Structure 1
Amino acid sequence: MMILRLIPIICVFIYTTTVYAEPLPGIAPYDEHLERQLRKALLAKGKNYKPRTKHLSAEGRAHYTNRLILEDSPYLTQHAHNPVNWFSWGEEAFALAEKESKPVFLSIGYSTCHWCHVMERESFEDKEIAEFLNQHFIAIKVDRERHPDVDEAYMLAVRLVAGRGGWPMSSFLAPDGKPFYGATYIPPDIFIDLLQKIHSTWLEEPELILKQSEELSALVTQIMQNRNDLESFEQNTIQQTADNLLSRLNPLTGGFGEAPKFPNEPALLFLLQIDTRDSNKPLNKDLETTLDLMSQGGIYDQIGGGFHRYATDDIWLIPHFEKMLYNQAQLSHVYLHAYRITGKDNYARIARQTLDYVLTEMTSNEGGFYSATDADSEGVEGKYFVWKPDEIREILSTEDADLAIDLFAITERGNFDGRNVLHLPVSLREYAVNQHISYKALTYQIDRIRAQLVEVRKQRIPPLRDDKILLAMNGMMISTLTLAADVLDDHRYKNAAIRAGNLLWEKLWHDGSLFRVYLDGRHSIPAKLDDYAYFIQALLDLYDIDGNPVWHQRSQTLADLMSSRFYDNTHGGFFMSDTKNALFTSPKSLNDSALPSGNSVAIIALANLALRSGKLSYSDRANEALKAILPSSDKGIFSSVSLYRALDLLIHGEVGKYQYGARGAVKASAEIEEFEGVKILEVKVQLTDNWHINAHQSKIENIIPTSVYIDADTPAFQLDNMTYPESISRKFSFLKTPLEVYEGDITLRGILNANKNAENIAHRNALVPVVIQFQACNDQMCLAPEKLTLRATQ
């Protein structure tokens, strides 16, 4: 790429990511119509509005106001008083670039991105840089959370040019929107030099830039449309993927790779799904180490609950202090799954604390979930979260202070700029043993300490919170809350999930269209693929725990709309949006990042909907999409792991508490309750109206009876004294004699005993696979006999 010889790649890459007064530097004043709009938007902010800029009058008024004051994105309005002539994403900016024959500078970030704030302070608030940028470029600012399709396309271009990506994303485009150069964070001296070199190249040799933009955009489009037709789905591909991932876990410090260290939730969710299927072995040791050390490290907020986005070191100690809703949703999901598999109460404790943090700190008055909180407080990274020993002693009693200082390794020297990020050098159970106190007493005392420190911390100036409610992330959070309601047996989480589901439908579904963003009482931005996919799955999860058919009906409405609007009928798979929206290509979300890819979530949602509705069209579409996009090897394994999770689901079915059969007419689940030392297995079956299953005993030959038993591959347990409900005698048109059947809601019970003769009984996980065999019929037909494997937690 010729222009790269003219522009040295010397940028610093950080992975991540009152009334209108003066004209912006370098350009003519805005026209009267736009100026009136800006004045009106400013006045609407109210008298307590504080412009976020260093360019202020003595009265605190902003010297500059640009078009971003008209936007409803918290990230964009953060930049509304930069001296840069920012445009939001849309046709207006590119039409002006074509008209004035100027290249485009595209800056993409999000409201709680630390390095986005740094680049704003250093470059976008600088009058000299702003003047040059305004004179010679069209500057566009994009909120990646509102336009993930735009972010996906240009991020790929940046990675191709620079070798890595992150935010802020800084891209340079031809007037038609095709990229020719890109980077992430750029220091101000390098940024102005880069602007000058691109400007001079554009004036002297524009054909070089245009040639490179054509080549780079063509390469991006080719990669976006890449597909691999697979002749078959093979189980060993799934196991090879799992083995490959496990081999990359660090056995000492946990996690994948080196600092900066991200949880990599999609990989964890995949591995836990695979482990859930095999109850004859414990959770992988290195995976358990990862979960333990993350929950003990500073990446986990030991006082307030919830996870920070990533750790800056190799041992999970010092975090980058942002808290994203998607991290809370995914990691709560991870720890809930781990608790199901292992029965370790600490995993339940971490999940509960994280979800309680979301319900208290990241939930709107209407019941929606906010997007994120910033890393900075009072302009200082992490200030809100760190402590000194004297602060602890001032707040707590002597006994509690001594415990907290010792337990959380709080020192005078500190571990973060002279202060302390709280962490647990050893697990709570190990600490209790070392201190000769009971685990129960220790956790009681810690909960008391946490409550006092949280109340004092609330008096500090908190980090900025991004209050927009994003459909995809809210859908993800609803799914996690429904899981928590079951696993932790806590109705608070069920109620919160139902409330959020109703809010999203009420506020973001309008006139046959779904919207992505809810903020300040208004919806905006047409929903993208991930919005549809996550919300469909959330509606199905609500249907599972609530039983209200309206959730199921809504999920089918959205699934049909998702397929009609986003599916690529030529190459297969789903586009991220149903329109190019000024983009140079039509991107597809194929690769995992911090989130599972949009295509993988869509496939999983369709597969689950097929099980509940009995409509083969949904599973056919899921299989068709997966065949089109699933990689045929483990190249880029971390980017495609969620597609393998979808593959596992399509081959082997769900691993959750609820299982569906008979085209959705039968819903079954299993639970284990202990009463006076005896473990009672309860299998609950719900049948839809006009359907029945055959009773356990029948007087008619060749009728498949309903039966419950322990999976033969699990010799560690045996089921005794199984009792079945009283049957109903029904006369059907296809039989001469009455048939004994079960209808409606039934419960089957038995006593679960350990098989003392089984080998390695201690070396297994906490799940007990229970099989229910049945044949479902209605008055017109009988379906083929089925077996559902239910997984009950001890």
Structure 2
Amino acid sequence: MILCFSFGCTQKKNDVTHKHTNALIHESSPYLLQHAHNPVNWEAWKPEVLERAQKEDKPLLISIGYASCHWCHVMEKECFEDEEVAQVMNERFINIKIDREERPDVDQIYMDAIQLISGHGGWPLNIVALPNGKPFWGATYVPKKNWIQSLEQLSKIYKEDRARVEEYANNLSQGVTAINLVENKEGQNLYSMDQLDAAVSQWSQYFDTFLGGYKRAPKFMMPNNWDFLLHYATATSHGEILEYVNTTLTRMAHGGIFDQVSGGFSRYSVDTKWHVPHFEKMLYDNGQLVSLYAKAYSVTKNELYREVVERTIDFVIEELKDEKGGFYSSLDADSLDENQILKEGAYYVWTENELKTLVGDDFPLFQDYYNINSYGLWEEGNYVLIRDKSAEEVSKKHNISPSELKTKMNLALEKLKKHRENRPKPRLDDKILASWNGLMLNGLVDAFRYLGDAQYLDLAIENALFIEQELMKEDHSLFRNHKNGGSSINAFLEDYATITEAYLNLYEVTFDEKWLNHAKNLLDYTKSHFLDNESKLFFFTSDEDLSLIRRSIETNDNVISASNSIMAKNLLKFHKLFPEEGYGDMAAQMLKNVQENFDKSAQSYANWLHLVLFESQNFYEIAIVGTNFKRIGTEIAGQYLPNSVLAGTAREGNLGLLENRYSEGKTLIYLCIEGACKLPVTSAEEVFKQIKVR
């Protein structure tokens, strides 16, 4: 039962009474529900709330965060749970809470605004805006005293100097629009290999060749950066670049950023050696890193990479998998410590005495292997497990075999995991997001593709079916979000881009045309509803949704690749399968329209740079026709060939690439470039010789 009064709502349910309950109680987002019992009269982002703000002539106070955000929790405790703060907010503002993961469209715009205002951004992202949504003030974390003072001053200036506030808001909104404009640059030549070599050379000045990643702290994992560099290194036989990628992947796998006990990666490390993470674990990181490590395993056959793939997927299954086949969003950085205080990393860290007790006689070995010393010490006597020596080095030092060392360390980790399961677990954000599931689906496909474990294909198909059944509509449009059996919010470009890519990749390892058809339908829907006819790129939001200030165009590759760069790669690959559709020309023009940025900021366009290699070097269409098409397809797919697309059928397929190629009693493989094919061969090894795979 919910009782509402002029000052808010009170809820009584199952004999638990909350003093305050606001409109967020009706939402499904765990982040929004975390704030449902704040004394602040929070509303969700809805057109009717914006309309009410204009009727009441109150400025909007928009606070944006996400469930696993540490500083969001801190500000909630200090400000939004405080009745004195709530009184100021409720009297003077219409207060809106937004889960940035549900509404990246709104988050993008206000993040651009705060960066124009202050030169930096982050979460919690707090914006004060006119009733029409145009921002005029912004800040990230603000302590209580400063927060109250700021809000009182903003309210006063809004009432007493409205014209100046509106002028500033209008100018700021123009700036937010201007920084997102992309010109259509017809007639340009495509970026050349010489230019790409120069861009990578410039980029490499920032490489940390000893510890991996970049020469800075904090260190973020940038899967698309290393994915491209892996492609570049193998395509150009650039040994130093490949060595840098291997250094980075090894250091990350050995670091505290990788959960040595249960697998899975945290979001970033606060130091230069990948040691102490910001402990939240995000699906999007882990999905992308599964792909990356699987590809790196195919190239290097480094068993560490295989182990990382396997343990990361184990973590995702154990902690983030929904029973229907979808994947949840994240685990919080914070959990309750032994004093029942919510603390970052409490679930993951260890004291030396704990480890001695749990590991027992093998503690001296464990201590050396995982640096229970000054190198592995974090704070307050807590250690974060980190490796900095090879297993061979440790086994030699302790005069045991590498296999015995591995057995002992695995046994020790099992003990730690069993003990840790008795600790209060980090909070789970159990909403299911389309794009993040697309990234995880891609990871599972690549894990099957390069490691050959059939269970990963089973998981991939289960997830693909979940997306089809729960997130896809009959007109081939998508929902963004799924929670508690229901789907909501129209999907954004990143949702279409990642799922299109994942379904195409799933087709390449199954040759089930259902997935190819889904991918093409999604691609064509995107073309119809997201394409900007002026810039020739795609808007982040559909033409069926209301726009705020602008319709954003996302071009910069960040921790997740830009939706436009993923779409451009999709278009190029679909051009190889459907050459009559004009997809290739679209991809090339998209590349031309952003390539001027590559010289100075290659790392911010890493996913785009694949297209330069695709356009400059041979790109292969590989058609397999005959009884053994699946077996041979699996063999070819297991070879790292980023510049290829696979198609296969037992007899005649619906693709032009597969037509008139069947020969009774044979399985023939055709290696083609733009539809022009070499003489057919009958084995994967012969294909690799034709491509000159080293």
Superposed pair shares fold, TM > 0.5: yes
Query: 2:617 maps to which residue?
Result: 652
The two structures have a TM-score, normalised by structure 1, of: 0.78
User: Displacement, 1:229?
Assistant: 1.7
- Structure 1 residues 317 and 362, CA gap change in structure 2 (3 angstroms): same
User: 1:399-410, aligned counterparts within 5 Å?
Assistant: 399=362, 401-410=363-372
Does 2:406 correspond to 1:443? yes
Q: Give the 3-state SS of the residue equivalent to 2:18 in structure 1.
A: coil
Give the distance between the partners of 2:349 and 2:172, measured in 1 at CA.
45
Q: Give the 3-state SS of the residue equivalent to 1:599 in structure 2.
A: helix
- Structure 1 residues 277 and 236, CA gap change in structure 2 (3 angstroms): same
- Structure 1 residues 329 and 748, CA gap change in structure 2 (3 angstroms): closer
Q: Give the 3-state SS of the residue equivalent to 1:239 in structure 2.
A: helix
User: Displacement, 1:29?
Assistant: 4.3
User: Displacement, 1:625?
Assistant: 2.6
Q: For 1:160, which of 116, 140, 148 is the aligned residue? A: 116
User: Displacement, 1:334?
Assistant: 2.1
Query: 1:416 maps to which residue?
Result: 379
Give the distance between the partners of 1:541 and 1:790, measured in 2 at CA.
23
Does 2:486 correspond to 1:515? no
Q: For 2:419, which of 434, 445, 456 is the aligned residue? A: 456
User: Displacement, 1:143?
Assistant: 0.9
Does 2:58 correspond to 1:97? no
Query: 1:622 maps to which residue?
Result: 587
Does 2:256 correspond to 1:298? yes
Query: 2:675 maps to which residue?
Result: none
Give the distance between the partners of 1:325 and 1:588, measured in 2 at CA.
24
Give the distance between the partners of 1:577 and 1:87, measured in 2 at CA.
22
Cα shift readout 1:104-160 (whole Å, capped 9, x = no counterpart)? 111111111111111111111111111101111111111111111111111111111
1:573 partner letter: L
- Structure 1 residues 662 and 404, CA gap change in structure 2 (3 angstroms): closer
- Structure 1 residues 685 and 187, CA gap change in structure 2 (3 angstroms): closer
Q: Give the 3-state SS of the residue equivalent to 1:510 in structure 2.
A: coil
Instruction: Work out whether residues 539 and 552 of structure 2, in 8 Å CA contact, stay in contact via their aligned partners in 1.
Output: yes
Does 2:218 correspond to 1:260? yes
- Structure 1 residues 183 and 251, CA gap change in structure 2 (3 angstroms): same
User: Displacement, 1:692?
Assistant: 4.9
Which shows bigger deviation, 561-570 or 606-615?
A: 606-615
User: Displacement, 1:191?
Assistant: 1.2
CA RMSD of aligned residues (A): 2.9
Q: Give the 3-state SS of the residue equivalent to 1:259 in structure 2.
A: coil
User: 1:11-410, aligned counterparts within 5 Å?
Assistant: 19-20=1-2, 23=5, 28-29=6-7, 43=13, 47=14, 60-227=16-183, 229=185, 231-233=188-190, 234-279=192-237, 281=239, 283-378=241-336, 379-399=342-362, 401-410=363-372
Query: 1:489 maps to which residue?
Result: 452
User: Displacement, 1:70?
Assistant: 0.6
Q: Give the 3-state SS of the residue equivalent to 1:518 in structure 2.
A: strand
Query: 2:572 maps to which residue?
Result: 607
Give the distance between the partners of 1:527 and 1:511, measured in 2 at CA.
14
1:490 partner letter: D
Give the distance between the partners of 1:488 and 1:671, measured in 2 at CA.
11
Structure 1 vs Structure 2: percent identity of aligned residues? 33
2:369 partner letter: L
Q: Give the 3-state SS of the residue equivalent to 1:569 in structure 2.
A: coil
User: Displacement, 1:613?
Assistant: 3.7
Give the distance between the partners of 1:650 and 1:707, measured in 2 at CA.
21
Which shows bigger deviation, 333-342 or 560-569?
A: 333-342
Give the distance between the partners of 2:489 and 2:65, measured in 1 at CA.
17
Bigger fraction of residues in helix: 2
Which shows bigger deviation, 132-141 or 607-616?
A: 607-616
- Structure 1 residues 650 and 370, CA gap change in structure 2 (3 angstroms): farther
Q: Give the 3-state SS of the residue equivalent to 1:523 in structure 2.
A: strand
Instruction: Work out whether residues 636 and 684 of structure 2, in 8 Å CA contact, stay in contact via their aligned partners in 1.
Output: no
Which shows bigger deviation, 239-248 or 276-285?
A: 276-285
Instruction: Work out whether residues 284 and 440 of structure 2, in 8 Å CA contact, stay in contact via their aligned partners in 1.
Output: yes
- Structure 1 residues 741 and 650, CA gap change in structure 2 (3 angstroms): closer
2:457 partner letter: K
Instruction: Work out whether residues 254 and 286 of structure 1, in 8 Å CA contact, stay in contact via their aligned partners in 2.
Output: yes
Cα shift readout 1:551-607 (whole Å, capped 9, x = no counterpart)? 011111111101111000122211111145351111111122221111111111222
Q: For 1:588, which of 544, 553, 564 is the aligned residue? A: 553
Does 2:498 correspond to 1:534? yes
Give the distance between the partners of 2:282 and 2:193, measured in 1 at CA.
34
2:279 partner letter: F
Instruction: Work out whether residues 518 and 524 of structure 1, in 8 Å CA contact, stay in contact via their aligned partners in 2.
Output: yes
Cα shift readout 1:264-323 (whole Å, capped 9, x = no counterpart)? 222112211211313473653333222222222111111111111011112211111000
User: Displacement, 1:60?
Assistant: 4.6
Which shows bigger deviation, 629-638 or 596-605?
A: 629-638
Instruction: Work out whether residues 479 and 538 of structure 1, in 8 Å CA contact, stay in contact via their aligned partners in 2.
Output: yes
Higher-Rg structure is 1
User: Displacement, 1:611?
Assistant: 2.3
User: Displacement, 1:662?
Assistant: 6.8
Give the distance between the partners of 1:647 and 1:554, measured in 2 at CA.
27
Q: Give the 3-state SS of the residue equivalent to 1:81 in structure 2.
A: coil
Instruction: Work out whether residues 193 and 612 of structure 2, in 8 Å CA contact, stay in contact via their aligned partners in 1.
Output: no
User: Displacement, 1:397?
Assistant: 4.1
- Structure 1 residues 770 and 183, CA gap change in structure 2 (3 angstroms): same
User: Displacement, 1:220?
Assistant: 1.1
Q: Give the 3-state SS of the residue equivalent to 1:176 in structure 2.
A: coil
- Structure 1 residues 108 and 636, CA gap change in structure 2 (3 angstroms): farther
User: Displacement, 1:439?
Assistant: 2.6
1:588 partner letter: I
Query: 1:766 maps to which residue?
Result: none
Q: Give the 3-state SS of the residue equivalent to 2:561 in structure 1.
A: coil
- Structure 1 residues 664 and 508, CA gap change in structure 2 (3 angstroms): farther
Give the distance between the partners of 1:74 and 1:653, measured in 2 at CA.
47
Instruction: Work out whether residues 177 and 582 of structure 1, in 8 Å CA contact, stay in contact via their aligned partners in 2.
Output: no
Query: 1:480 maps to which residue?
Result: 443
Cα shift readout 1:433-489 (whole Å, capped 9, x = no counterpart)? 333333333223222222222122111110001111111011111111111112111
Runs of 4+ in 1 over 6 A off after TM superposition: 662-668, 705-708, 740-743
Give the distance between the partners of 2:554 and 2:238, measured in 1 at CA.
36
Which shows bigger deviation, 445-454 or 91-100?
A: 445-454
Give the distance between the partners of 1:189 and 1:101, measured in 2 at CA.
26
1:521 partner letter: G
Give the distance between the partners of 2:180 and 2:354, measured in 1 at CA.
53
User: 1:546-565, aligned counterparts within 5 Å?
Assistant: 546-565=510-529
Instruction: Work out whether residues 692 and 741 of structure 1, in 8 Å CA contact, stay in contact via their aligned partners in 2.
Output: no
List gaps (5 residues or longer) in structure 2.
337-341, 638-645, 653-657, 672-677
Instruction: Work out whether residues 438 and 499 of structure 2, in 8 Å CA contact, stay in contact via their aligned partners in 1.
Output: yes
User: Displacement, 1:548?
Assistant: 0.8
User: Displacement, 1:636?
Assistant: 3.8
Query: 2:642 maps to which residue?
Result: none
Give the distance between the partners of 1:706 and 1:483, measured in 2 at CA.
22
- Structure 1 residues 96 and 447, CA gap change in structure 2 (3 angstroms): same
List gaps (5 residues or longer) in structure 1.
1-18, 48-58, 674-683, 696-704, 709-739, 751-768, 773-788
Q: Give the 3-state SS of the residue equivalent to 2:573 in structure 1.
A: helix
May I ask how many residue pairs the two structures share in their alignment?
A: 657
Instruction: Work out whether residues 265 and 285 of structure 2, in 8 Å CA contact, stay in contact via their aligned partners in 1.
Output: yes
Instruction: Work out whether residues 234 and 242 of structure 2, in 8 Å CA contact, stay in contact via their aligned partners in 1.
Output: no
Give the distance between the partners of 2:446 and 2:248, measured in 1 at CA.
22
Give the distance between the partners of 1:93 and 1:706, measured in 2 at CA.
59
